């Protein structure tokens, strides 16, 4: 019994002297923890005779309860003292102005991508996507680029080292491989849920995304953004292509009418192929769309080559289609007057603050795009 009295006196003194919450916690573990002194005493009850236990049980349990209560009381006191000390030390000058909040903005490329998507969505197009790392087959072969043909080099492609199977992957040089993914009838599961596969004709898709070419100057960046368009249906002809693009351009630049011309061009995956120029005015030092007598080249397009349809398991005698590829960043530069494409990807927050858009201004053709 005197043991218990001594232990209690010792513990009470230690609890009273504990300088902070951490020291108190160490004391609690030493007394009441799994191998603590009081827990040890409680364990001895099991080996006592009933008579001994009748006396020792209440004594040890009482000790445990009193020590636990003392610990809790001291803890509350220490915490209150710590709070008092903090309140006394910390001051807040409510008369000072609040520090300015840095506000993010929507990157012009993303804004333009949304504007373009809103316009095409209203025309009935759906968005399809594909991976940035492509197979040579999807980027070139299925798009009717002849094997070993210089056209493959024309794209200044970033190739990866060939894999164990000899296959040479690449960073897609255009968004056209997603045409192949959307049209191809395969049993293969796409590698990710957002990757387009086997859309049944009629197909009306746009494909916004990143593209890569080994090229860098004021109007070229090794990474840039394109938007592919693809329409596959019965009886599709170039008139549909022309209407779609002219309507898009007029809405995008928010001008009444657009004059356009189609210059013959060559793409392996379209026949006939064309580059589309739109009428503009450069006289005031800046480019104005919708007036004037100058021309500005803005995109490549054409009727989908029968070989591409065949590669993808679509009968070219039944279905026809058109495709186009637009440079998203370039359209943004034209619309919002940004002189150098490379600035768009420098990540300079001053540039972003100047050219960026509010996140709440979601483009909507009905209420205004920008």
Q: Cβ of residue 144: shortest distance to ligand PHE, in angstroms?
A: 11
270 binding ligand PHE? (CB under 6 A): yes
Of how many residues is the chain composed?
A: 370
The DSSP letter of residue 202 is S
Do 131 and 181 meet the contact criterion of CB atoms below 8 Å apart? no
52: tokens are 């001994």
Q: Cβ of residue 193: shortest distance to ligand PHE, in angstroms?
A: 25
Q: Which of 252, 267, 319, 357 binds ligand PHE (CB under 6 A)?
A: 267
Residues with Cβ within 8 Å of 83's Cβ and at least 6 positions away in sequence, in order, are none
Number of residues forming the site for ligand PHE (CB under 6 A):
11
Site stretch for ligand PHE (CB under 6 A), options 41-49, 280-288, 308-316, 319-327: 319-327
Do 244 and 123 meet the contact criterion of CB atoms below 8 Å apart? yes
283: tokens are 């006289």
Q: Which of 128, 258, 301, 308 binds ligand PHE (CB under 6 A)?
A: 301
300 binding ligand PHE? (CB under 6 A): yes
Q: Which residue is nearest to ligand PHE (CB)?
A: 325
Q: Cβ of residue 317: shortest distance to ligand PHE, in angstroms?
A: 21
Chain centroid to CA 132: how far? 13
Rounded Cα distance between 326 and 209, Å, is 11
Picking from 282, 279, 292, 275, the residue whose alpha carbon sits closest to that of residue 326 is 275
Site stretch for ligand PHE (CB under 6 A), options 187-195, 198-206, 294-302, 360-368: 294-302
HSE, CB side, 13 Å, CA atoms: give it for residue 93.
Answer: 5
Q: Cβ of residue 273: shortest distance to ligand PHE, in angstroms?
A: 6
- How many other β-carbons are positioned within 10 Å of the β-carbon of residue 220? 16
302 binding ligand PHE? (CB under 6 A): yes
321 binding ligand PHE? (CB under 6 A): no
Site stretch for ligand PHE (CB under 6 A), options 19-27, 66-74, 276-284, 297-305: 297-305
Q: Cβ of residue 237: shortest distance to ligand PHE, in angstroms?
A: 15
Q: Which is nearer to ligand PHE, 244 or 270 (CB)?
A: 270
Q: Which is nearer to ligand PHE, 42 or 296 (CB)?
A: 296
Helix (H, G, I), strand (E, B) or coil at 209: strand
Rounded Cα distance between 209 and 173, Å, is 11
The counts of H helices and E strands in the chain are 12, 10
Rounded Cα distance between 40 and 204, Å, is 78
Distances (CA, A) of 299 to 10, 141, 273, 369: 88, 22, 11, 21
Site stretch for ligand PHE (CB under 6 A), options 145-153, 159-167, 285-293, 320-328: 320-328
Task: Name residues contacting ligand PHE, limited to 155-214 (CB under 6 A).
Answer: 174, 176
Q: Which is nearer to ligand PHE, 18 or 323 (CB)?
A: 323
Q: Cβ of residue 185: shortest distance to ligand PHE, in angstroms?
A: 21
Q: Which is nearer to ligand PHE, 28 or 174 (CB)?
A: 174
Residues in contact with ligand PHE by CB under 6 A are 174, 176, 228, 267, 270, 300-302, 323-325
């Amino acid at each position: 019994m005197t043991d218990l009295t001594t232990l209690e006196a010792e513990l009470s003194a230690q609890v009273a002297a504990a300088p902070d919450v951490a020291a108190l916690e160490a004391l609690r573990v030493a007394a009441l923890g799994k191998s603590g002194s009081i827990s040890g005493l409680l364990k001895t009850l099991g080996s006592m005779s009933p008579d001994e236990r009748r006396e020792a049980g209440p004594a040890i349990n009482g000790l445990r309860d009193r020590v636990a209560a003392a610990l809790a009381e001291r803890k509350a006191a220490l915490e209150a003292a710590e709070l008092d000390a903090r309140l006394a030390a910390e001051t807040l000058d409510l008369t000072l102005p609040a520090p300015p909040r840095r506000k993010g903005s929507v990157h012009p490329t993303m804004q333009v991508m949304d504007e373009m998507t809103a316009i095409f969505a209203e025309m009935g197009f759906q968005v399809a996507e594909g991976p940035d790392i492509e197979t040579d087959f999807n980027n070139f072969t299925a798009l009717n680029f002849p094997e070993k043909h210089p056209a493959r080099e024309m794209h200044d492609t970033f190739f990866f080292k060939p894999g164990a199977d000899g296959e040479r992957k690449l960073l897609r040089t255009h968004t056209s491989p997603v045409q192949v993914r959307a049209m191809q009838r395969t049993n293969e599961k796409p590698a990710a849920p957002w990757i387009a596969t086997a859309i049944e004709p009629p197909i009306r898709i746009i494909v916004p995304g990143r593209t890569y070419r080994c090229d860098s100057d004021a109007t070229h960046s090794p990474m840039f953004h394109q938007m592919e368009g693809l329409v596959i249906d019965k009886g599709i002809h170039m008139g549909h292509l022309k209407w779609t693009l002219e309507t898009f351009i007029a809405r995008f630049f928010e001008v009444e009418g657009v004059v356009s011309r189609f210059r013959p061009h060559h793409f392996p995956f379209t026949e006939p192929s064309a580059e589309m120029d739109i009428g503009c005015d450069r006289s005031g030092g800046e480019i104005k769309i919708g007036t004037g007598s100058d021309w500005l080249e803005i995109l490549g397009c054409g009727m989908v080559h029968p070989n591409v349809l065949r590669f993808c398991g679509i009968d070219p005698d039944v279905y026809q289609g058109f495709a186009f590829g637009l440079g998203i960043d370039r359209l943004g530069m034209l619309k919002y007057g940004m002189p150098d494409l490379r600035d768009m990807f420098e990540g300079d927050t001053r540039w972003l603050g100047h050219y960026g858009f509010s996140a709440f201004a979601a483009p909507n053709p009905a209420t205004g795009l920008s």
